[in-house]
Amino acid sequence: MEVVVDKKLKRREAILNGNLWKTILIVSLPILIYNLCNYLYGIYDMMVVQSAGIGEAADIVVLDQIKNMISTIGGAIATGGGILVSRRYGENKISEAKRCANCLFSIALIVMGLTLLFIPIGVPFLKLLRTDQSTIDNAMGYYYIQIVILALTTINNTFIALEKSKGNTVKLFVLNFGVIFIKIGLSTLFAFGPFEGVTVTWLAGATLAAQSFLFIAGLIYLFLPGNVLRISFKALNFNKSDTLNIIKLSLPVFVGRFLFSFGKVYINSIAIDAYGKNCVGALGISNTMAGLLTNMINSFEDGGSTIVSQNYGNKNGRRIRRFFIINMIYLVSMATIGMLTCFFLKEQIAEFFAPNDQLYQEMIVNIFKWECVDLIFTGIQAVGLSIFYGFGKTRITMALSMAQLFAFRIPTLLLGIYVFKINYEACGIAMFTSNAITGTLAFVFALIFIIRMNKSDKYKDLFINHTDNPNQLQPSL
């Protein structure tokens, strides 16, 4: 079969044959912009809540953690489907990739409908999760709108996954300028404009408007005739092989992310019981500020998994090994610079979020300093995860997520509270311990996998002379 040379496949050719230093940046930077936009939602909402006095930051933190737990369903499906589509796209099996894309979209529509069921069961569901009664009393409107947002982002995540599977992430970069303009503009207007009775629910409404823009734009592009992975009503399907493969790849991702998010909700309830609601607020501020760098790191993880997946489909093991080294250089450098920057600015950050409360500032600093130090381990963890996601090794990522929370984080926190009688700083210590151990394990496991890859019967064909196959592109650094 001849190599497809359609201009829409130029990014594929770059991923399979282009300069890896440049390709990693081209694929990852647009994802980085998208992730930073989502990050800015959270941080800007917290800033508005603090400065405009329209609610409590802890309410947003608690409900956002619950929202993240629910969102793992749609996010996992998009991840698993994206891996499968990307692999077939790398193999140049475009018709199979297109069929799989339509199967993924069909599954996403069902997940979207199921997500809306969390609206009628909202109050009992939050009580089941031991949510503080004051949060339920003050912010149920915020919760309901967040569920509608989750329904929309199920489709948005599918659109994003399909674009990433092609390596065509520039479109995400462009669309998110519109998304962030709508979100920031409406949030500012609601909080500081000529309105009375503004609550955190209004801020959720601003996010809904922004995500609706991306939802409509994504649907338009997905159904365009010129889209190489075009979605159409006639092509929607539940192909048995594709559906089972998507579920096989997605289920471990869902289990790992869901349990990890559930554990965060559980930790919030422990922290409230042990140290009060302010501790959860400080923990949320710490997580949000560290999220600036974490989102940058995750962007290279996501972009990297696309590069690995396409080269896996293209049977190019040597290029995957070179990618591992280059991606490690990028991520470790980024994590080190970010860690040092955050650590030296921790007092200024605390003062910004709690300008008139010295005790609250101290609490933020003492938790955030631990989060700063563990950022380097977040970077090396991403090096490993990009390899495992690219190869579809989602059971390994599930095991790492579960161990991070249940083997390292929760036990460390409980020991700090009830055995060593540490103050609220135990929350920061628990985060550092779990992230450090998990990051080290992920990197070591990936390194062993990369070294032994050509000795495995399953992957030894990745190292056959690449020019022997006329459908493959000659690899080069």
pLDDT digits (tens, 9 = 90+) for 400-427: 988 998 899 999 999 999 999 999 999 9
Task: Find out whether 436 and 376 touch, Cβ atoms under 8 Å.
Answer: no
3-state DSSP call for residue 354?
coil
Number of residues that this document lists for the chain: 477
Task: Find out whether 337 and 296 touch, Cβ atoms under 8 Å.
Answer: no
Q: What is the reported pLDDT for 98? A: 94
- Tell me how far apart the alpha carbons of residues 383 and 364 are, in angstroms, rounded to a whole number: 29
Ranking 62-66, 101-105, 154-158, 219-223 by mean pLDDT, the lowest is 62-66
| pLDDT confidence tier of residue 330, bands split at 50, 70 and 90 | very high
Q: Is the dihedral of CA 286, 426, 332, 26 positive or negative?
A: negative
Q: What is the reported pLDDT for 384? A: 95
Helices (H), 231-357: 240-275, 277-313, 317-344, 346-353
Q: CA dist 181 to 160, 189, 213, 402, Å?
A: 19, 12, 11, 37
Q: Per the structure block, which two tokens stand in for 269?
A: 């309830």
| pLDDT confidence tier of residue 66, bands split at 50, 70 and 90 | confident
pLDDT digits (tens, 9 = 90+) for 92-141: 888 999 999 999 999 999 999 999 999 999 899 888 877 778 778 877 88
Task: Find out whether 200 and 142 touch, Cβ atoms under 8 Å.
Answer: yes
Q: What is the reported pLDDT for 42? A: 64
Q: CA dist 465 to 1, 23, 93, 316, 462, Å?
A: 18, 23, 21, 9, 9
- Tell me how far apart the alpha carbons of residues 284 and 414 are, in angstroms, rounded to a whole number: 19
Residue 190 or 36, more confident: 190
| pLDDT confidence tier of residue 14, bands split at 50, 70 and 90 | confident
- CA dihedral 294→296→297→301, nearest 10 degrees, is 130
Task: Find out whether 304 and 28 touch, Cβ atoms under 8 Å.
Answer: yes
Helices (H), 91-199: 94-115, 122-128, 133-165, 170-192
pLDDT digits (tens, 9 = 90+) for 440-475: 999 999 999 999 887 877 787 787 655 434 344 333
| pLDDT confidence tier of residue 4, bands split at 50, 70 and 90 | very low
Fill in the amino acid letter for 102: N
What does DSSP assign to residue 233? T
Q: Once rounded to an integer, what is the mean pLDDT over residues 321-340?
A: 94
With a pLDDT cut of 90, the percent of the chain lying above it is 41
Residue 282 has pLDDT above 70, yes or no: yes
pTM (2 d.p.): 0.80
